Homo-oligomer: A and B are copies of this chain.
Amino acid sequence: MQIIDGTIASPKGFYATGLHAGLKKEKKDLGVIYSEVPANAAAVYTTNQVKAAPIFVTKEAMKDTTIQAVVVNSGIANACTGKLGLENAKEMQAITGTHLNIPQESVAVASTGVIGKQLPMEIIEAGISNIDLEKPEPYAFHEAILTTDTATKEIVITEEINGQQVTMAGVAKGSGMIHPNMATMLAFITTDAQISEELLQEILAVKTETTFNQITVDGDTSTNDMVLVLANGLAENPVIEKNSKAFEQFVAMFQLVSETLAKKIAKDGEGATKLIEAQVVGALNGSEARLVAKKVVGSSLVKTAMFGEDPNWGRIICAVGYAGSHTDPEKIDMWIGDQQLLKNSQPQEFDETIMKQTLEKEKINITVDLNIGEQSGQAWGCDLTYKYVEVNALYHT
């Protein structure tokens, strides 16, 4: 398995582009992914009960077995926009289908941005008419889906599966309102692998639990967001069967793409200066390990301590204690980096110079051993900074 330079259009038969339509002041705000043949597709959506209009349109499109294009806008979320919002999302789908000369029902739609504003359809329509897939600019798609993100988020990997070179690419946007409970950001994954839609959906659902759902920026689960996977089969590998070697290879690729995007989203949390990774081991089961890890990286007090580069293990053990998993409060071990801070819940001497160096880094690893079982889990978050308050206090509706 090899990480290569590339874009969401790197797998065979995929095209992508993006442009500035006019929803945002200057930045790119409209993008399309297109597959030259219909692709098997799978998706997971936000569990927020208040869902944006494009979620409903994409869910409906997914009832057909294939998807051939995805149209995405940033700037406006098309959430809490009622019947008109739903009509606009369908219209956006229809215009894209017409422009690309494919059925409307094979177009997935996604939006991200401010809640409660209607999409200005003349801007959307003019923008889509300017999409030119004969001169694609795939990296422009990566830019077009961003909101307060400070960087694009992508990964491309390739691997020989059953004698054919299979490529998988992922692109995501994140930043604020990030606490997925299914998937609270936009992430798109393309691959030229041949795999059934059922198996694709199964892998997506399982892997979302340990990757996208294990990141948190601010504990807020968005109304809009989704992870969408397209597999167009153009690598011409024999169809991947469950529990084969090819299946294992494909799942490993999927894990790497999802985990990499998830970490990039956490690291680029609004105002963040550090990526915090919590590894919980010795848990009774994996879901409890993930729960504890997510509580640790989600704690405002842990987040501010990491911003202050302070090894404040009291706040970490406090978060472990309220996570709600099985725990023996007397048996907790804890490390920051490779320095042990707690053994059987008691403070340990550590090297303050090494600790200082550890906390100055852009990535901080917190490890907690519950010492009551054999299972483990991870979660990713970021520090809580002055900049987070600034971004969100000054971001006026």
Contact = CB atoms under 8 A, between A and B. Distances in A.
A53 to B, nearest CB: 11
Contacts of A313: 115-116, 397
B51 A329 contact: yes
Interface footprint category on A? 35 or more
B308 A392 contact: yes
A80 interface: yes
Residue from the set A79, A176, A220, A344 with the largest chain B CB neighbour count within 10 Å: A220
A386 B390 contact: yes
A301 B177 contact: yes
A238 interface: no
A116 to B, nearest CB: 5
Interface in A229-288: none
A269 to B, nearest CB: 11
A308 B308 CA distance: 23
B317 A395 contact: no
A155 interface: no
Contacts of A222: 318
Interface in A113-148: 114-116
Interface string A105-119: 000000000111000
B388 A389 contact: yes
Contacts of A319: 220
Contacts of A103: none
Interface of A is mostly: loop
A305 B116 CA distance: 15
A366 interface: no
A314 B114 contact: yes
Interface in A308-341: 308, 310-315, 317-322, 327, 329-330, 332
B397 A314 contact: yes
Given A300-B218, A301-B177, A397-B312, A48 B389 contact: no
5 contacts: A50-B321, A80-B346, A307-B389, A311-B397, A384-B389
Given A80-B346, A223-B317, 10 more contacts: A49-B320, A49-B327, A50-B327, A50-B332, A218-B299, A219-B299, A221-B321, A221-B322, A300-B300, A305-B393
